Structure 1
Amino acid sequence: MVFSGGNSPTTRARFPRGEAAHYREHAVSLGMPQDAILVETQAGNTSQNITFSQAVLAEHGIRPRSVLLICKPYMQRRAFATCRRAWPEVDVVCASEPLRLLDYVQSIGDSALVIDMLIGDLQRIIEYPKKGFAIEQNVPTEVLTAYDHLVRSGFDSRLLT
């Protein structure tokens, strides 16, 4: 198992030593053997999570045929598309904690921030293929219409500039 991630603006306060270190400690506390865990602590985005994890695995002589990416529920499509672009030779499955939107909003404590994060993630699903960061995915017209409406309504703090 590889835990990957440094910090982001939304995780720095919660995981001051980085996401990967926190999740490793939690897994060990739940009984995961320490020697079954690899840690990558430098990634600052999804592409780096994937490419840096791939490098850590290769350093240990591990060349998987398939990977399971665990991420936030709203990030599964982008994580999949990013992995397919960065690591096309593996089969990719994405999963997340089964979490209702309301429960996620309550865990973050700021509904506007959650909408901003969702809008930012959708923008990346649309834009990253053009930059070569991810494979292209179909985004339904109704979703694009809602996205445009929310951006016009001011939910833009997580948009790429």
Structure 2
Amino acid sequence: MGANAELTEEVRQRARIVWDYQRLDQEPRGCDVAVVLGSHDLGVATTAADLYRRGFFPRMVISGANSPSTLARFPRGEAVHYREHVLGRGVPDAAILMETRATNTGENLRHSRALLADAGITVRSVMLVSKPYMERRAHATTRRVWPEVDTVSASARTGFDEYLGSVGDDRLVMDTMVGDLQRVMEYPARGFAVPQEVPDRVREAYAYLVAAGYDGHLITPDPPVP
């Protein structure tokens, strides 16, 4: 799928529209805990470590098993590699809880919530640490599966073009970002997230990028009921 997609300047313009929409650009504030959402991007762990050292939360749950896009990068699991990274950036082991089963965002949050409850940790506020273009979807998913907590979204403070360079795989970023927007639009009807307004210009950018071949992370329609 999408083998001939080319990252032209027109594609970049549409991609920046999607990027800007999916970022919430919230200022970090003190929270009871951070939930660090595993992915192909080790920069998420870097951001979590930096926010911990700045005193925004006393502990973090690092969540993630593997997906098809992370298995080669993190063969021992997203959470395992993230943990090693934050330890190397000064986060003490005592401040880390590990959740190694989740394979999607809903599971990240449900399993993290259960892990914290089992540990007897009261949680009223959560910092969601994710890829920059995942902020909106993480927020919408949390509002569905963990609605009683106050949340703030956090990610690397970077622009779209700089982010592409930091990951080093333009196609992976583009496919995943387009797929995340599709989930923002479609998951509320499936009961996985709360609905959010999606402006026409964002929908138009999404349609353009899919037509341009950035379809490698799209979900398929639900199968018909027999």
TM-score (structure 1 length as normaliser): 0.94
Q: Which amino acid aligns with 1:133?
A: F
- What is the CA-CA distance between 1:11 and the residue it aligns to? 1.7
**Following superposition, which runs of at least 4 residues in structure 1 exceed 4 angstroms of deviation?**
none
Q: Identity rate of aligned residues, in percent?
A: 57
Partner in structure 2 of residue 37 of structure 1:
96
Write the deviation string for residues 29-50 of structure 1: whole angstroms up to 9, x where unpaired: 2222212211000111111110
Aligned pair partner of 1:58 in 91, 96, 117:
117
- What is the CA-CA distance between 1:28 and the residue it aligns to? 1.9
Specify every segment of 5 or more residues in structure 2 that has no aligned partner in the other structure, as ranges.
1-59, 221-226
Q: Which has the higher contact order (CA 8 A, sep 6+)?
A: 2
Aligned pair partner of 2:108 in 42, 46, 49:
49
Specify every segment of 5 or more residues in structure 1 that has no aligned partner in the other structure, as ranges.
none
Partner in structure 2 of residue 154 of structure 1:
213
1:6-155 correspondence to structure 2 within 5 Å: 6-155=65-214
CA distance in 2, matches of 1:75, 1:145: 19
Larger mean Cα displacement after TM superposition, 107-116 or 41-50:
107-116
Partner in structure 1 of residue 17 of structure 2:
none
CA distance in 2, matches of 1:49, 1:90: 15
Q: Which amino acid aligns with 2:136?
A: R
- What is the CA-CA distance between 1:108 and the residue it aligns to? 3.2
- Give RMSD over aligned pairs: 1.2
CA distance in 1, matches of 2:209, 2:87: 41
Local SS of the residue matching 1:39: strand
Write the deviation string for residues 14-41 of structure 1: whole angstroms up to 9, x where unpaired: 2111111112122222222212211000
Write the deviation string for residues 122-155 of structure 1: whole angstroms up to 9, x where unpaired: 0000001001100100011001011112212222
Larger mean Cα displacement after TM superposition, 34-43 or 19-28:
19-28
Local SS of the residue matching 1:43: coil
Equivalenced residues, count: 161
Q: Which amino acid aligns with 1:11?
A: T
CA distance in 1, matches of 2:188, 2:143: 11
Local SS of the residue matching 2:193: coil
TM-score (structure 2 length as normaliser): 0.68
